[in-house]
Structure 1
């Protein structure tokens, strides 16, 4: 896997991703300390509200990435967003009131909500080979997990010699380095599709594909399962270790580290697994394991059992999360890729926005054993829905019918566009009024402007 890193533009983009991730991890630590400085006893409330703003920005703003994509070169868009993120985080050391913190956090995450799905949609364009793209997804998952493991350690070391506000400056530098790395590579131009589509059509293009494709409807329920299990881990680990088991706070990070180690193990194994098993089997198996393992929490495991449990859950979650990019890429046209990745980013974070407060509320209002049981039940029900929604067929080569129609959009002369020209239409891709004859045929089926509904 690691011999793959030096190849082509991906090396620069992967380096940019790692540097930006570690910078963001430092800001997460610094933000908690800033909240305490401004609000002291109410720091938890301040931090919770700031994180809620982050999720709201992700859910509401990210679909705009698909709208902007046809009108702005990818490299310019990514670099601009990196510079804006650097500017926002650089202002954080100078705030003196909470409303300023909330405003900057919302602006920072608005930029991230546009940057991340655009970045994710770029990778399959520079790595058209499925094997290469699979390795890239594993490396990306590995980067996220290593950041979660190492950023707190790095922040702790830096805080022994620096004040916490310097961490914001280091994050700003990380975003600038990320921008420079992106500038250093030539990114393929996005397939613009039809740029005179209405704003609403472009805004909803990704969600239309998502909710009209059976495998992606299953992915939506898997997002809910991941969020239910992950929220229980993230929100209630500290409560379980400190209150339920009565152990020292120094043991809390080890529990999170156990989950990260499990996730890393799965990320490394995914390329091999995908050579032997289908995406459907791997992802559904991971989801079944997640829900079943979380149920064990109702038995009030001791600390060492909890470490094993969190490690196995981290492994299971990664089995579901790592192949998602492959699933998205295989269920859309190239021109719809930015919109679909943006829709996934928004919808998956909507699940987290629901499950974070739900896990916290259940743990506070009921016993932690009850919270374990109910969040596990939610994950299991979501998994059963995914099993029912995701077809078993191994190919999307489907027979389907087209009725005759006359319309206009930007197109190449592919199997759906065989028609007469008068000479004024210009080079491909071009846009002009053209006729489609009624036809029944078979090919790889995805939802697009010529295929608006699944054939069964």
Structure 2
């Protein structure tokens, strides 16, 4: 008990850094704003499309992911020569401005247009935020604690935002949720404006397209990062199954009420948060590669076991396990990108590449979980995604055979070509 309390205190030590504290609070309120917007968007889709709301939300999800995958590296490469704090504040305010127009939407195509604008800003904002943290906390142990707190914030967002939305809906109409989301983005921008964000190391003479292509070339030419990509695919398969098909399992197959769906999703988040708290201690004993291999094994094995689920309690236990495997892979991921770019001007564009490729993994996972679940049944979908997760495990273990950074050779070859 005392050891657990000590770990929590040690985890929170990074918040004594005033720059990171303001930066982290900015992320938290921004995530709450994003969560409120997600709830409001679902309600608006039902208001405009009725029973076709699912198709609208599916298109929105595809647009969000495709925008991120297609634009993240290019937007980041475009903005990295400008002062970092101004870029972060500007992108948050842009998201707020776009969100402020949602209450005036009257047609479904307007939702699609605004979603493309919103996630164009997010495609530049999220990787820029992630690339800033290792500059604020250069010590790897402190950075690991920051990654854990960040993962917990993302997990909490899925639980806290719907509860806040339910509370707000007792006081305001649907449009009020969008206004509250705008408030989150503005508060985030204000906190960023009050923090002393380090300047980025930008010295490249390449053009926008060249820097974006260079980031992709370095990422896919580095065995450690290729392994991270493959392991992330395993995590995406597990989370896609949970996010897409929990409602089917709980309310259709088991015949339970909607609140049991919410509980199951919360249990997945609890599994992720619990393991995120343990990751710093695990990294003191094991390498990132060992931890990620273990996480991919949990994801692939858990999905295989899911085909035999026949009760709600068993499903909750499995969801907790899948959340644990998911967190074992994603929590330490930022360390690998930061380590591969230590002292390099390519850090920000590599984080953008990581973000884009991660979103591509989720796109494949969502489409597979949704289409297979609708046509082949949930049990067979578990097995399909288990095979895909196992493929990510095998490929990741093969392409990343040792715990070393090979980015220097890739960068040298890239410079030689120039």
TM-score (norm 1): 0.86
Contact 1:65 1:339 (C-alpha < 8 Å) held by counterparts: no
Aligned pair partner of 1:238 in 222, 247, 262: 247
- What's 1:306 paired with? 315
Q: Partners in 2 of 1:101 and 1:367 — Cα distance?
A: 31
- What's 1:216 paired with? 225
Contact 1:118 1:338 (C-alpha < 8 Å) held by counterparts: yes
Aligned pair partner of 2:353 in 322, 343, 349: 343
Contact 2:80 2:348 (C-alpha < 8 Å) held by counterparts: no
Compare CA radii of gyration and give the structure with the larger one: 1
Q: Partners in 2 of 1:200 and 1:449 — Cα distance?
A: 17
Q: Partners in 1 of 2:208 and 2:87 — Cα distance?
A: 19
Aligned pair partner of 1:292 in 296, 301, 306: 301
By how many angstroms is 1:376 displaced? 0.6
Q: Partners in 2 of 1:142 and 1:362 — Cα distance?
A: 30
Matches within 5 A, 1:358-373: 358-373=368-383
Task: With a CA cutoff of 8 Å and minimum separation of 6, indicate the structure with the bigger relative contact order.
Answer: 2
Aligned pair partner of 2:32 in 18, 22, 26: 22
By how many angstroms is 1:70 displaced? 3.8
- What's 2:123 paired with? 113
Aligned pair partner of 2:189 in 167, 179, 185: 179
By how many angstroms is 1:221 displaced? 1.1
- What's 2:277 paired with? 268
- What's 1:431 paired with? none
- What's 1:134 paired with? 144
Contact 2:74 2:209 (C-alpha < 8 Å) held by counterparts: no
* Deviation sequence 1:303-348 (CA, Å, 0-9, x none): 0010010001101110100000001111125311001000011111
Worse-superposed segment, 3-12 or 305-314: 3-12
By how many angstroms is 1:241 displaced? 0.9
Q: Partners in 2 of 1:172 and 1:367 — Cα distance?
A: 39
Q: Partners in 2 of 1:157 and 1:207 — Cα distance?
A: 43
By how many angstroms is 1:448 displaced? 5.3
By how many angstroms is 1:69 displaced? 4.0
Q: Partners in 2 of 1:284 and 1:2 — Cα distance?
A: 27
By how many angstroms is 1:218 displaced? 1.1
Q: Higher helix share goes to which structure?
A: 2
Q: Gaps spanning 5+ residues in structure 2: where? A: 1-10
By how many angstroms is 1:8 displaced? 2.5
- What's 1:248 paired with? 257
1:86 maps to 2:48: no
Aligned pair partner of 2:209 in 175, 200, 215: 200
1:446 maps to 2:399: no
Q: Partners in 1 of 2:407 and 2:366 — Cα distance?
A: 36
- What's 2:386 paired with? 376
Q: Partners in 1 of 2:404 and 2:398 — Cα distance?
A: 17
Contact 1:363 1:371 (C-alpha < 8 Å) held by counterparts: yes
- What's 1:386 paired with? 396
Segments of 4+ in structure 1 off by > 4 A? none
Q: Partners in 2 of 1:223 and 1:299 — Cα distance?
A: 25
By how many angstroms is 1:149 displaced? 1.3
Contact 2:45 2:57 (C-alpha < 8 Å) held by counterparts: yes
Matches within 5 A, 1:347-358: 347-358=357-368
Q: Partners in 2 of 1:209 and 1:81 — Cα distance?
A: 26
Note closer, same or farther for the CA distance 1:373–1:132 as it changes in structure 2 (3 Å cut).
same
By how many angstroms is 1:227 displaced? 1.4
By how many angstroms is 1:156 displaced? 1.1
Q: Partners in 2 of 1:271 and 1:225 — Cα distance?
A: 21
1:9 maps to 2:9: no
Q: Higher strand share goes to which structure?
A: 1
Note closer, same or farther for the CA distance 1:83–1:66 as it changes in structure 2 (3 Å cut).
closer
Q: Partners in 2 of 1:445 and 1:148 — Cα distance?
A: 35
Contact 2:297 2:393 (C-alpha < 8 Å) held by counterparts: yes
Q: Partners in 2 of 1:122 and 1:447 — Cα distance?
A: 25
Q: Gaps spanning 5+ residues in structure 1: where? A: 397-443
Contact 2:68 2:123 (C-alpha < 8 Å) held by counterparts: yes
- What's 2:7 paired with? none
TM-score (norm 2): 0.94
